[in-house]
Structure 1
Amino acid sequence: MSFETPRMVNQQGGQIRIFMPRYGNINERRHQLHEVIRLSGINLVINDLDMPLIIKVASIPKERIQVYFIDNDEYFKRKATLTDENGALFSDNDERAIFFAKGVIETVKKLNWSPDIIHVHGWLASLLPLYLKEYFAGEPLFNDSKVVTSIYNQGYEGTLNKTMSDKIKFDNINDDVVKTLSEPTYNNLMKVAIDYSDALIIGSEDISKEITTHLDNSNKPVLGYKNKEEFGEAYSNFYMNEVLK
């Protein structure tokens, strides 16, 4: 749904931009990626280290949608996406998630674009609601932006790096969040995303009971699971009647 959703909005006349990590397995020549110098050239501080932000852009010609790739050689040059050849999570996935969240928001700021809805898909992007509402809380560009997060059952086993909470604490994030992410399981990451989103969409038929309970207790608008055939109208109505009301 991470592509079907923006395509649906685009076809209805909305202005859409897609942001994703520039994983090393993406063929830049085939997809005609090119660096946008005016958007690149800043450093993001991750755990007290300056990490260069590189922005590359490609387009989906048939849909007339721009795709912005958040890039950094240290985090995204490797060919594998989230795990090594043995299936083990990369130890820096926590930093990659922080870098992606900050990178997306800084890029939108440089574009001077005030989106009505920011729709988050996938656990690597799940810190975006937190950073938007806490780290970038004083940014007027996002005063009227609403954050929607889709919750899937595509998580990971075990935890991310146990030092994740220290890196988030470095950014002066709410102590309750730091406490939750002292055990950075998939469920805890999703709980933080739920807490900082304005509305939620269940993107998989089956999600864990723990996440379901957290959703029920959130007192936020939640759209139940919709298949590919029925999601279009349901998502449009949800955006208009629950998120932007």
Structure 2
Amino acid sequence: MSKKKVLVVTQEMEPYTIAKDISTTVRGLAPYLQKNQMEIRVLMPRYGTINERRHRLHEVVRLSGMNIIIDDNDYPLIIKVASLQDKSTRMQVYFLDNEDFFKRKFVHKDKAGKYFDDNAERAAFFCKGVIETVKKFGWPPDIIACHGWMTALIPFYLRTAYSTEPLFQESKIVYSLYQDGAEDHLSEDFAMLSSINALSEEDLAPYMNGNKPDLHAGALKYADAVIKGTAELNEHNAKLLEDCELPMLDIQGEDAPAASVEFYHTLLEEEVVE
């Protein structure tokens, strides 16, 4: 049996970002998938907080050179890669970089603790960039595992603007919902800034609650399954999961990687090989 391909898209991952729910979860999950007969690709933003020399990042020229359009402006996409050793397993992590969006020495907030005004544009750039990068890979993922609010547009883009792209026709999209907070501080222009190709603001209505962006609600509308990544959620996000009719996995901590593998196989209607 050929290995199943899992695309792990995350806004954070140890040791490249500080230890939080998302970064520690992905750090445990990715190598576990690779050790359990799954072929993986990990993609995340190249924040300015990441020390390229320490982590030995280098540009992948054959993947770089694309331009991503955000609000009628072109932004160059640079792809970098690093190898991460995990005991007996070595895996590659790909970083999406752009000077306008990720060069700053902070992740989602500035030095004063204020969320960046352009976080919506940064998320749209990252999600579009992920899809275009995977197209350059020529690598059809069986599972697309999205971790964090910055990945929330990927289910929408894949099921609308990229719905005829052969590479993703068989992909199952799994959205992990965490209690983060940055998604609550996005610009009211989120829908306009996130439009793509022939899509309009109206197409992004599932991502809006009145004038307020609601990224998790939109992602759940277009995903195939959901994982509860954080044990405790606020009232709104807990209600989203309560009303959600998607296949759901509610497990965190040390048992999450093994449970996720089984969950993926279930979505693909396969038996887990012991």
TM-score tier by shorter-chain length is: over 0.9
Quick one: percent identity of the two aligned structures? 42
Deviations 1:58-85 (A, max 9, x none): 1113332111000000000000010011
Letter paired with 2:263: F
Match of 2:204 among 170, 177, 195: 177
Deviations 1:190-218 (A, max 9, x none): 11111111100001111123223222333
Match of 1:34 in 2: 58
Give secondary structure in 2 for the equivalent of 1:16: strand
Give secondary structure in 1 for the equivalent of 2:67: strand
Aligned-pair CA distance for 1:132: 1.6
Give secondary structure in 2 for the equivalent of 1:119: strand
Match of 1:45 in 2: 69
Give secondary structure in 2 for the equivalent of 1:61: strand
Letter paired with 2:123: A
1:211 matches 2:211: no
Structure 2: gaps spanning 5 or more residues: 1-24, 270-274
Match of 2:43 in 1: 19
C-alpha separation in 2, matches of 1:59 and 1:14: 17
Letter paired with 1:12: N
More RCO (CA 8 Å, sep 6+): 2
1:134 matches 2:177: no
Match of 1:8 in 2: 32
C-alpha separation in 2, matches of 1:223 and 1:193: 16
Q: Which has the higher strand share?
A: 2
Give secondary structure in 2 for the equivalent of 1:79: coil
C-alpha separation in 2, matches of 1:13 and 1:154: 31
Q: Give yes or no for contact 1:17–1:66 (8 Å, CA) kept in 2.
A: yes
Shifted more, 211-220 versus 20-29: the winner is 211-220
C-alpha separation in 2, matches of 1:10 and 1:139: 26
Aligned-pair CA distance for 1:179: 6.3
Aligned-pair CA distance for 1:239: 1.1
C-alpha separation in 2, matches of 1:209 and 1:36: 43
Deviations 1:74-119 (A, max 9, x none): 0000000100111111011101000000111111100100111111
C-alpha separation in 1, matches of 2:221 and 2:206: 14
1:120 matches 2:146: yes
Match of 2:114 in 1: 88
Deviations 1:210-229 (A, max 9, x none): 2232223331101113322x
Letter paired with 2:162: F
Q: CA RMSD in A?
A: 1.7
Structure 1 pair 160–108 and aligned structure 2 pair: CA distance change class (3 A): same
Match of 1:97 in 2: 123
Could you list the runs of 4 or more consecutive aligned residues of structure 1 that deviate by over 6 angstroms after TM superposition?
Answer: none
Aligned-pair CA distance for 1:157: 7.3
Give the TM-score normalised by structure 1.
0.92
C-alpha separation in 1, matches of 2:235 and 2:251: 15
C-alpha separation in 2, matches of 1:238 and 1:16: 16
Aligned-pair CA distance for 1:189: 0.7
Deviations 1:21-70 (A, max 9, x none): 00001111111111111101111111111110100011113332111000
C-alpha separation in 2, matches of 1:240 and 1:157: 30
Structure 1: gaps spanning 5 or more residues: none
Give the TM-score normalised by structure 2.
0.83
Shifted more, 213-222 versus 112-121: the winner is 213-222
